[in-house]
Amino acid sequence: MKRVDGECTLTVNGVDHEVNGLHPGESLLDALRERCGLRGSKGACEEGECGSCTVLVDGEAVCSCLTLAASATGCSIVTVEGIGGSSRSDLQEAFLRAGAVQCGFCTPGLIVAAEALLRRAPEPSVDDVREGLAGNLCRCTGYGRIVQAVLETSEERRNGR
């Protein structure tokens, strides 16, 4: 049985981060931002409503604010920094083209959630996209351009571009 006593390894975007001094109940979000130095994932509601902290844990999109950091040891964690690597992914480019980014606070969570959606359902309908992104709040865009960016990326990928 694994036992974590405030110290563990978090595997984020393929890199092992040794974290120590985890406080009781510390979320993966706090550990990512403040211990691993990965500040792409954002914290806002801390109750799973806004989705701005969305990351992939073993391929599943989850709210990192609701994931106990210690419980994620041994899992493969992907944050927005790992979606495109050193350049921007096709989805991120589509967000920029469509004007789906305004203040930008929700964008990292949306990129991760949309990427998870496209992996799960490569040809989503408009309703699929809206339902798939229902857990990500954006107060700027009204969502239209975000939905458009996801649909365009889906089409691009199908056309092999």
> What is d(CA 71, CA 27) in angstroms, rounded to the nearest whole number?
9
Q: Check binding of 131 to other proteins (CB under 8 A).
A: yes
Q: Check binding of 103 to other proteins (CB under 8 A).
A: no
Stretch that binds other proteins, among 44-52, 79-87, 95-103, 147-155 (CB under 8 A): 44-52
> What is the chain's length?
161
Q: Which of 11, 39, 68, 84 binds other proteins (CB under 8 A)?
A: 68
Sequence-ordered list of residues with C-beta below 8 angstroms from that of 109, at least 6 positions apart, any chain: 41, 42, 50, 51, 52, 53, 54, 80, 136
Centroid of chain to Cα 142: 20
| Token output for 122 | 């490569």
Of 59 and 99, nearer to other proteins (C-beta) is 59
Stretch that binds other proteins, among 62-70, 87-95, 96-104, 148-156 (CB under 8 A): 62-70
Q: How many CB atoms lie within 10 A of CB 78?
A: 20
Q: Which of 13, 31, 145, 150 binds other proteins (CB under 8 A)?
A: 31
Stretch that binds other proteins, among 68-76, 77-85, 88-96, 142-150 (CB under 8 A): 68-76
What is the DSSP track for 107-151? HHHHHHHHHHHHHH-SS--HHHHHHHTTT---SSS-SHHHHHHHH
Of 86 and 159, nearer to other proteins (C-beta) is 86
Q: What residues make contact with other proteins under the rule CB under 8 A? A: 1-6, 15-27, 30-31, 34-37, 46-49, 51, 54, 60-63, 65-68, 70-71, 73-74, 113, 116-117, 131-132, 134-136
